[in-house]
Structures are given as structure tokens and as C-alpha cells.
Amino acid sequence: MKLRHKGDATKIEAQMAPMIDIVFQLLIFFMLTLKILAPEGDFNINMPIGQAQADDESDMQLDIKVRLLASPDGTLKQVALGTRQLGNDERVFDRLNSEIITIVGRPGAGENEVEVEIDADYGLHYGNVIQAISACTGKIDPITKKPVRYVEKIKFAKPRPPGDAQ
């Protein structure tokens, strides 16, 4: 039996150029096969501007105002639609959705120009804001499994400092 000596071993080097070529080919393949669905990432949301404006937009009345109050620990304390209190239980966003549809009228009409302003407390958990956006914009049709839009325009109120209650 012949044993190899340590000096006889040749060092095998990995070539980087073919590996980089393969990575770029995979990247191009995934970019070309990506299919973006229309409802994904299509949030027609107007974020508040950092400073006050002195134009006609400040005089514009919003159709629907949703207020989300937070507890000191960041959980949802209360949801209000205008002056009406909707509560804070697990069905509050279903009630919000029902109220929005009664205000807007026929779902999926598309011709309404209703705008919703969401006024969330500074410390509210992000998931509650997303649930409010989902409840205001529409729902999934149980028969066709496609989204039905009520409201296309969502606007956020200017953030208030923590502890500032209105």
C-alpha cells in the first residue's frame, strides 16, 4: 500500500469567475420570472407632510375619520369612527369594515372619491394600524376570493407627541 506524502498534494483553487456568472444568471432568472400581483403593494396612502402647509388642502374636509387610541403598553384601547365609539375587542375591525360600507354605499363601485383619515396614537402597535387600513379599504369576496375595494384613498393624520390626547 502506497501512502501519499504531504508534499505531494496539489492545492485546488476554486475559480470565482464561473461562480459569479452563475449567481448573475440566477439573479436574472428570478427577476424575469417574478410576477407582481396588482393588489400587492398597491396602497394608495398619503403620508403626512412634515411641516404645515398654508394652501387649500388644509381647508378640505375629509369624509371619514378613524381614530385609534393606544393604551400605555401600545395595545389597542379604542377605535372611533367620527364620534362613534366602536370598542376594542377582537371584532372591532369587522365593525369598522361594516360601518365603512354603510357610509360608502355599494362596494366596488369605483366612482366614489371618499377619503379616509387614520389618526393613530404615537405608541400604537403597527399591526393595529394595518388592520384598520385593511378594514377601511375593503374586504375579500368570499365567493370569488378577490379583493373588493371600498375606499381607494387613505390619509394619515399628523403625528402628535406621546401623551398628547385630543
Summarised one tens digit per residue, pLDDT across range 108-138 is: 555 557 788 888 888 888 888 888 888 888 8
pLDDT digits (tens, 9 = 90+) for 43-52: 666 666 666 5
Number of folded domains in the chain? 1
Note down the domain range covering 94: 61-156
Residue 72, domain member (yes or no): yes
Q: Does residue 8 lie within any of the structural domains?
A: no
In 3-state terms, what secondary structure has residue 83? coil
Tally the residues of the chain. 166
For residue 8, pLDDT beyond 60: no
In a domain, 89, yes or no: yes
Residue 86 in any domain: the answer is: yes
Closest CA to 122 of 161, 80, 149, 76: 161
Domain presence at residue 70: yes
Q: Are 132 and 66 in contact (CB under 8 A)?
A: yes
Per the domain annotation, does 164 fall within a domain? Answer: no
User: Is 149 part of any domain?
Assistant: yes
Order of strands across the sheet that contains 153-156? 45-46, 153-156, 115-120, 64-70, 76-81, 84-87
Domain assignment present for 91: yes
